[in-house]
Protein backbone atom coordinates (compact mmCIF):
# COMPACT_ATOMS: atom_id res chain seq x y z
CA UNK A 1 0.00 0.00 0.00
CA UNK A 2 2.82 2.41 0.88
CA UNK A 3 4.40 1.45 -2.43
CA UNK A 4 1.31 2.68 -4.33
CA UNK A 5 1.32 5.93 -2.42
CA UNK A 6 5.02 6.41 -3.01
CA UNK A 7 4.27 6.22 -6.73
CA UNK A 8 1.45 8.78 -6.50
CA UNK A 9 -1.29 6.14 -6.79
CA UNK A 10 -4.23 6.66 -4.42
CA UNK A 11 -5.60 3.61 -2.57
CA UNK A 12 -9.29 2.75 -2.02
CA UNK A 13 -9.90 0.24 0.77
CA UNK A 14 -12.91 -1.44 2.37
CA UNK A 15 -15.74 -3.35 0.71
CA UNK A 16 -18.22 -0.49 0.33
CA UNK A 17 -15.74 2.11 -0.87
CA UNK A 18 -14.25 -0.50 -3.22
CA UNK A 19 -17.66 -1.42 -4.66
CA UNK A 20 -18.51 2.26 -5.19
CA UNK A 21 -15.18 2.90 -6.92
CA UNK A 22 -15.53 -0.16 -9.17
CA UNK A 23 -18.98 1.01 -10.28
CA UNK A 24 -18.11 4.68 -10.55
CA UNK A 25 -18.45 6.17 -14.04
CA UNK A 26 -15.80 8.71 -12.97
CA UNK A 27 -13.08 6.05 -12.78
CA UNK A 28 -11.90 4.29 -15.92
CA UNK A 29 -9.65 1.36 -16.91
CA UNK A 30 -8.61 3.35 -19.99
CA UNK A 31 -5.22 4.90 -19.20
CA UNK A 32 -5.16 6.70 -22.53
CA UNK A 33 -2.68 4.54 -24.40
CA UNK A 34 -5.26 3.34 -26.94
CA UNK A 35 -4.73 -0.28 -25.87
CA UNK A 36 -6.82 -2.92 -27.68
CA UNK A 37 -6.85 -5.04 -24.47
CA UNK A 38 -10.26 -5.71 -22.92
CA UNK A 39 -8.74 -4.86 -19.53
CA UNK A 40 -7.55 -1.37 -20.50
CA UNK A 41 -10.57 0.24 -22.13
CA UNK A 42 -14.15 1.21 -21.34
CA UNK A 43 -17.44 2.04 -23.00
CA UNK A 44 -18.73 0.45 -26.23
CA UNK A 45 -15.36 -0.92 -27.38
CA UNK A 46 -14.85 -2.65 -24.06
CA UNK A 47 -18.37 -4.12 -24.13
CA UNK A 48 -17.86 -5.40 -27.69
CA UNK A 49 -14.57 -7.22 -26.96
CA UNK A 50 -15.82 -8.47 -23.59
CA UNK A 51 -18.94 -9.87 -25.31
CA UNK A 52 -16.74 -12.04 -27.56
CA UNK A 53 -14.67 -13.26 -24.58
CA UNK A 54 -17.76 -13.99 -22.55
CA UNK A 55 -19.15 -16.23 -25.35
CA UNK A 56 -15.85 -18.16 -25.35
CA UNK A 57 -15.83 -18.64 -21.58
CA UNK A 58 -19.46 -19.79 -21.64
CA UNK A 59 -18.33 -22.83 -23.65
CA UNK A 60 -16.79 -24.15 -20.40
CA UNK A 61 -20.03 -23.74 -18.44
CA UNK A 62 -20.89 -26.26 -17.22
CA UNK A 63 -17.32 -27.48 -16.79
CA UNK A 64 -16.76 -30.21 -19.43
CA UNK A 65 -16.46 -33.81 -18.16
CA UNK A 66 -13.27 -34.49 -20.13
CA UNK A 67 -11.60 -31.43 -18.58
CA UNK A 68 -12.75 -32.55 -15.11
CA UNK A 69 -11.13 -35.95 -15.75
CA UNK A 70 -7.87 -34.29 -16.89
CA UNK A 71 -7.79 -32.09 -13.75
CA UNK A 72 -8.46 -35.08 -11.50
CA UNK A 73 -5.69 -37.02 -13.27
CA UNK A 74 -3.18 -34.29 -12.32
CA UNK A 75 -3.99 -34.79 -8.64
CA UNK A 76 -4.07 -38.59 -8.97
CA UNK A 77 -0.58 -38.44 -10.48
CA UNK A 78 1.01 -36.49 -7.59
CA UNK A 79 3.78 -38.38 -5.80
CA UNK A 80 4.18 -38.60 -2.01
CA UNK A 81 6.03 -35.26 -2.07
CA UNK A 82 5.27 -32.43 -4.52
CA UNK A 83 5.48 -28.66 -5.02
CA UNK A 84 1.99 -27.14 -4.81
CA UNK A 85 2.91 -24.64 -7.53
CA UNK A 86 4.71 -26.77 -10.13
CA UNK A 87 3.08 -30.11 -9.38
CA UNK A 88 -0.50 -29.02 -8.73
CA UNK A 89 -1.57 -25.44 -9.50
CA UNK A 90 0.42 -24.91 -12.69
CA UNK A 91 -0.71 -28.05 -14.56
CA UNK A 92 -4.35 -27.52 -13.49
CA UNK A 93 -4.42 -23.83 -14.48
CA UNK A 94 -2.54 -24.75 -17.68
CA UNK A 95 -5.15 -27.38 -18.62
CA UNK A 96 -8.04 -24.97 -18.11
CA UNK A 97 -6.29 -22.18 -20.03
CA UNK A 98 -5.59 -24.63 -22.84
CA UNK A 99 -9.28 -25.59 -22.90
CA UNK A 100 -10.33 -21.90 -22.96
CA UNK A 101 -8.18 -21.24 -26.04
CA UNK A 102 -8.58 -24.64 -27.70
CA UNK A 103 -4.80 -24.84 -28.12
CA UNK A 104 -2.27 -27.22 -26.50
CA UNK A 105 0.04 -25.18 -24.24
CA UNK A 106 3.50 -26.44 -23.32
CA UNK A 107 5.82 -25.48 -20.45
CA UNK A 108 7.60 -22.85 -22.53
CA UNK A 109 4.27 -21.15 -23.24
CA UNK A 110 3.34 -21.20 -19.55
CA UNK A 111 6.76 -19.78 -18.60
CA UNK A 112 6.21 -16.85 -20.96
CA UNK A 113 2.65 -16.42 -19.73
CA UNK A 114 3.94 -16.11 -16.16
CA UNK A 115 6.62 -13.69 -17.36
CA UNK A 116 3.98 -11.38 -18.89
CA UNK A 117 2.74 -10.71 -15.36
CA UNK A 118 5.81 -8.57 -14.84
CA UNK A 119 4.59 -6.60 -17.84
CA UNK A 120 1.55 -5.65 -15.80
CA UNK A 121 3.96 -3.69 -13.64
CA UNK A 122 1.75 -1.10 -12.02
CA UNK A 123 4.62 1.29 -11.48
CA UNK A 124 5.46 2.11 -15.05
CA UNK A 125 5.42 -1.05 -17.14
CA UNK A 126 9.11 -0.86 -17.93
CA UNK A 127 9.82 -4.58 -17.73
CA UNK A 128 11.29 -5.44 -21.13
CA UNK A 129 11.37 -9.21 -20.58
CA UNK A 130 7.64 -9.19 -19.75
CA UNK A 131 6.85 -7.18 -22.86
CA UNK A 132 8.95 -9.51 -25.00
CA UNK A 133 7.10 -12.52 -23.57
CA UNK A 134 3.70 -10.99 -24.30
CA UNK A 135 4.74 -10.15 -27.86
CA UNK A 136 6.16 -13.63 -28.41
CA UNK A 137 2.93 -15.27 -27.23
CA UNK A 138 0.86 -12.98 -29.40
CA UNK A 139 2.88 -14.00 -32.48
CA UNK A 140 2.82 -17.67 -31.47
CA UNK A 141 -0.97 -17.67 -31.04
CA UNK A 142 -1.47 -15.80 -34.31
CA UNK A 143 0.19 -18.75 -36.06
CA UNK A 144 -1.12 -21.60 -33.92
CA UNK A 145 -3.43 -24.16 -35.46
CA UNK A 146 -6.53 -24.01 -33.27
CA UNK A 147 -9.16 -26.62 -32.60
CA UNK A 148 -12.65 -25.84 -31.34
CA UNK A 149 -12.40 -23.17 -28.65
CA UNK A 150 -11.41 -19.61 -27.91
CA UNK A 151 -8.77 -18.95 -30.52
CA UNK A 152 -10.99 -20.19 -33.35
CA UNK A 153 -13.87 -18.13 -31.94
CA UNK A 154 -11.67 -15.00 -31.76
CA UNK A 155 -10.62 -15.52 -35.39
CA UNK A 156 -14.26 -15.99 -36.40
CA UNK A 157 -15.20 -12.80 -34.55
CA UNK A 158 -12.43 -10.99 -36.44
CA UNK A 159 -13.63 -12.39 -39.78
CA UNK A 160 -17.16 -11.23 -38.93
CA UNK A 161 -15.94 -7.68 -38.21
CA UNK A 162 -16.52 -7.90 -34.45
CA UNK A 163 -12.79 -7.48 -33.65
CA UNK A 164 -10.20 -5.40 -35.46
CA UNK A 165 -6.64 -6.58 -36.27
CA UNK A 166 -5.07 -5.22 -33.07
CA UNK A 167 -7.83 -6.66 -30.90
CA UNK A 168 -7.31 -10.08 -32.50
CA UNK A 169 -3.53 -9.83 -31.96
CA UNK A 170 -3.63 -8.97 -28.25
CA UNK A 171 -6.76 -10.40 -26.66
CA UNK A 172 -5.85 -14.11 -27.01
CA UNK A 173 -2.86 -13.39 -24.74
CA UNK A 174 -4.97 -11.27 -22.40
CA UNK A 175 -7.55 -14.06 -22.16
CA UNK A 176 -4.86 -16.70 -21.58
CA UNK A 177 -3.22 -14.59 -18.90
CA UNK A 178 -6.53 -13.79 -17.19
CA UNK A 179 -7.51 -17.46 -17.15
CA UNK A 180 -4.08 -18.64 -16.00
CA UNK A 181 -2.41 -16.26 -13.53
CA UNK A 182 -5.15 -15.74 -10.95
CA UNK A 183 -6.14 -19.42 -11.04
CA UNK A 184 -2.51 -20.50 -10.65
CA UNK A 185 -2.09 -18.26 -7.62
CA UNK A 186 -5.45 -19.15 -6.15
CA UNK A 187 -5.01 -22.93 -6.46
CA UNK A 188 -1.53 -22.90 -4.91
CA UNK A 189 -2.51 -20.63 -1.99
CA UNK A 190 -5.73 -22.60 -1.41
CA UNK A 191 -3.74 -25.85 -1.48
CA UNK A 192 -1.48 -24.43 1.23
CA UNK A 193 -4.54 -23.47 3.30
CA UNK A 194 -5.97 -26.98 2.97
CA UNK A 195 -2.61 -28.49 3.90
CA UNK A 196 -2.11 -26.31 6.97
CA UNK A 197 -5.62 -25.44 8.23
CA UNK A 198 -7.93 -28.19 6.95
CA UNK A 199 -11.03 -28.15 4.72
CA UNK A 200 -12.87 -24.93 3.73
CA UNK A 201 -15.28 -24.10 0.92
CA UNK A 202 -13.87 -22.79 -2.36
CA UNK A 203 -15.84 -19.53 -2.03
CA UNK A 204 -14.42 -18.91 1.44
CA UNK A 205 -10.94 -19.69 0.19
CA UNK A 206 -11.07 -17.36 -2.81
CA UNK A 207 -12.39 -14.51 -0.67
CA UNK A 208 -9.75 -15.07 2.01
CA UNK A 209 -6.87 -15.46 -0.44
CA UNK A 210 -7.97 -12.84 -2.98
CA UNK A 211 -5.28 -13.57 -5.57
CA UNK A 212 -5.83 -10.28 -7.46
CA UNK A 213 -5.23 -7.94 -4.54
CA UNK A 214 -5.89 -4.66 -6.38
CA UNK A 215 -7.27 -3.40 -9.67
CA UNK A 216 -6.16 -0.10 -11.15
CA UNK A 217 -8.29 2.74 -12.44
CA UNK A 218 -7.72 6.37 -13.26
CA UNK A 219 -9.89 9.41 -12.65
CA UNK A 220 -9.84 13.18 -12.22
CA UNK A 221 -7.41 12.92 -9.28
CA UNK A 222 -5.04 10.54 -11.07
CA UNK A 223 -4.55 6.77 -10.75
CA UNK A 224 -6.07 4.72 -7.93
CA UNK A 225 -5.55 1.15 -6.77
CA UNK A 226 -8.82 -0.37 -5.54
CA UNK A 227 -8.33 -3.12 -2.96
CA UNK A 228 -10.35 -6.31 -3.52
CA UNK A 229 -9.16 -7.90 -0.27
CA UNK A 230 -12.33 -7.10 1.71
CA UNK A 231 -14.66 -9.54 -0.01
CA UNK A 232 -14.44 -8.67 -3.73
CA UNK A 233 -12.09 -11.35 -5.14
CA UNK A 234 -13.63 -11.23 -8.63
CA UNK A 235 -14.08 -7.45 -8.74
CA UNK A 236 -17.36 -5.71 -9.59
CA UNK A 237 -18.79 -3.43 -12.24
CA UNK A 238 -18.13 -3.49 -16.01
CA UNK A 239 -14.83 -5.42 -15.72
CA UNK A 240 -15.97 -7.95 -13.08
CA UNK A 241 -14.36 -11.30 -13.82
CA UNK A 242 -16.35 -13.03 -16.60
CA UNK A 243 -14.52 -16.29 -15.74
CA UNK A 244 -15.55 -16.54 -12.08
CA UNK A 245 -17.89 -19.50 -12.73
CA UNK A 246 -15.12 -21.42 -14.49
CA UNK A 247 -12.61 -20.45 -11.76
CA UNK A 248 -14.93 -21.72 -9.01
CA UNK A 249 -15.67 -24.99 -10.86
CA UNK A 250 -11.96 -25.49 -11.48
CA UNK A 251 -11.31 -24.87 -7.77
CA UNK A 252 -14.07 -27.26 -6.63
CA UNK A 253 -12.66 -30.10 -8.74
CA UNK A 254 -8.94 -29.58 -8.16
CA UNK A 255 -9.13 -28.62 -4.49
CA UNK A 256 -11.74 -31.30 -3.76
CA UNK A 257 -9.36 -33.95 -5.11
CA UNK A 258 -6.41 -32.41 -3.25
CA UNK A 259 -8.34 -32.28 0.05
CA UNK A 260 -8.97 -36.04 -0.21
CA UNK A 261 -5.29 -36.66 -0.83
CA UNK A 262 -4.33 -34.59 2.22
CA UNK A 263 -7.04 -35.99 4.51
CA UNK A 264 -4.58 -38.31 6.29
CA UNK A 265 -2.27 -35.43 7.18
CA UNK A 266 0.81 -33.87 5.56
CA UNK A 267 3.86 -31.74 6.18
CA UNK A 268 4.63 -28.47 4.35
CA UNK A 269 8.19 -27.19 3.81
CA UNK A 270 10.05 -24.69 1.59
CA UNK A 271 7.25 -22.09 1.48
CA UNK A 272 8.25 -19.16 -0.76
CA UNK A 273 6.04 -16.24 -1.81
CA UNK A 274 5.95 -14.15 -4.97
CA UNK A 275 6.41 -10.41 -4.48
CA UNK A 276 4.19 -8.80 -7.15
CA UNK A 277 2.26 -5.80 -5.75
CA UNK A 278 -1.04 -6.87 -7.34
CA UNK A 279 -0.95 -10.63 -7.96
CA UNK A 280 -0.70 -12.50 -4.67
CA UNK A 281 0.73 -16.00 -4.97
CA UNK A 282 3.12 -18.69 -3.90
CA UNK A 283 6.41 -19.33 -5.67
CA UNK A 284 6.87 -22.73 -4.03
CA UNK A 285 5.55 -24.94 -1.22
CA UNK A 286 6.52 -28.58 -0.87
CA UNK A 287 3.87 -30.91 0.55
CA UNK A 288 4.78 -34.36 1.83
CA UNK A 289 1.80 -36.59 2.41
CA UNK A 290 1.80 -38.62 5.65
CA UNK A 291 1.42 -42.37 5.89
CA UNK A 292 1.36 -45.02 3.22
CA UNK A 293 -0.20 -44.15 -0.09
Which lies closer to ligand HEM via its Cβ, residue 90 or residue 239?
239
Candidates 129-137, 138-146, 239-247, 273-281; binding stretch for ligand HEM (CB under 6 A): 239-247
Among 170, 183, 194, 253, interactor with ligand HEM by CB under 6 A:
183
Confirm or reject binding of residue 253 to ligand HEM (CB under 6 A).
no
Alpha-carbon distance 239 to 235, whole Å?
7
Q: What are phi and psi of 27, to 5 degrees?
A: -115, 135
Nearest distance from C-beta of residue 39 to ligand HEM, angstroms: 4
Q: Please, which of residues 264-293 interact with ligand HEM by CB under 6 A?
A: none
Query: Binding ligand HEM by CB under 6 A: which of 234, 255, 258, 282?
Result: 234
How many whole angstroms from its chain centre is CA 42? 20
Q: Is 106 left (phi over 0), alpha (psi -120 to 50) or beta?
A: beta
When binding is defined by CB under 6 A, the residue of 18, 87, 172, 233 that contacts ligand HEM is 233
Q: Rounded to 5 degrees, what are φ and ψ at 127?
A: -75, 105
53 scored as a contact of ligand HEM (CB under 6 A): yes
Least distance to ligand HEM from the beta carbon of 80, Å?
28
Q: Which of 68, 49, 9, 43 is nearest to 257 (CA)?
A: 68
Rg (CA), the chain: 19
CB-wise, 225 or 289, nearer to ligand HEM? 225
The interface with ligand HEM within residues 97-126 (CB under 6 A) comprises 100
Size of the site for ligand HEM (CB under 6 A): 27
Taking CB under 6 A as the binding criterion, the range among 80-88, 179-187, 196-204, 271-279 that sits at the site for ligand HEM is 179-187
Binding residues (CB under 6 A) for ligand HEM: these are: 29, 38-39, 50, 53, 57, 100, 175, 178-179, 182-183, 186, 206, 211-212, 215, 228, 233-235, 239, 241-243, 246-247
Amino acid sequence: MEEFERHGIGVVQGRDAGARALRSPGLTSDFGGGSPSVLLRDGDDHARVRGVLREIIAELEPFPDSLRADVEAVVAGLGPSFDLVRGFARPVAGLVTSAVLGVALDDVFLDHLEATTANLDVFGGTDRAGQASAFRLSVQLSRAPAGPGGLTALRAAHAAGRLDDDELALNPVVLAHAAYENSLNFLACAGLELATSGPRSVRELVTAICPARYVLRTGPDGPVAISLADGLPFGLGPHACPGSGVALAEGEIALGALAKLLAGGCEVTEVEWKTHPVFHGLAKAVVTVSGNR
